[in-house]
């Protein structure tokens, strides 16, 4: 399995938006994104930090249905 890339919260938000997620709001340093309408995916909250920890990134990817290839 490929390693998770080092990615910032803002980069992850833009990649989720390309997958169809809608950026609904930002509160403090966290962005809330909703999945495409009618999708079985979960809404996700992304911390807008310079570098996301691997566990945080892994959990968000699991909720959003992303793979490592989607991030590269």
Residue 1 resides in a domain: no
- Number of domains into which the chain is organized: 1
Contact between 13 and 69 (Cβ < 8 Å): no
Contact between 24 and 34 (Cβ < 8 Å): yes
We report the CATH number of the domain holding residue 46 as 3.30.920.30
What digits encode the pLDDT tens for the residues 6-63? 999 999 999 999 999 999 999 999 999 999 887 878 899 999 999 999 999 999 999 9
Residue 29 resides in a domain: yes
The burial of 37, by beta-carbon neighbours within 10 Å (0-12 exposed, 13-18 middle, 19 or more buried), is given as exposed
Q: What tokens appear for 70 in the block? A: 């989607």
CA distance 40 to 49: 27
Q: What is the pTM of this model?
A: 0.88
30 forms beta bridges with: 27, 47
Residue 13 resides in a domain: yes
Residue 3 resides in a domain: no
What is the span of the domain harbouring residue 62? 9-71
């Amino acid at each position: 399995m490929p390693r998770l890339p080092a990615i910032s919260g803002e980069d992850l938000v833009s990649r989720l938006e390309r997958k169809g997620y809608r950026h609904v709001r930002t509160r403090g340093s966290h962005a809330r994104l909703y999945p495409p309408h009618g999708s079985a995916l979960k809404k996700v909250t992304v911390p807008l930090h310079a570098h996301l920890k691997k566990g945080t990134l892994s959990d968000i990817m699991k909720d959003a249905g992303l793979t490592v290839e989607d991030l590269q």
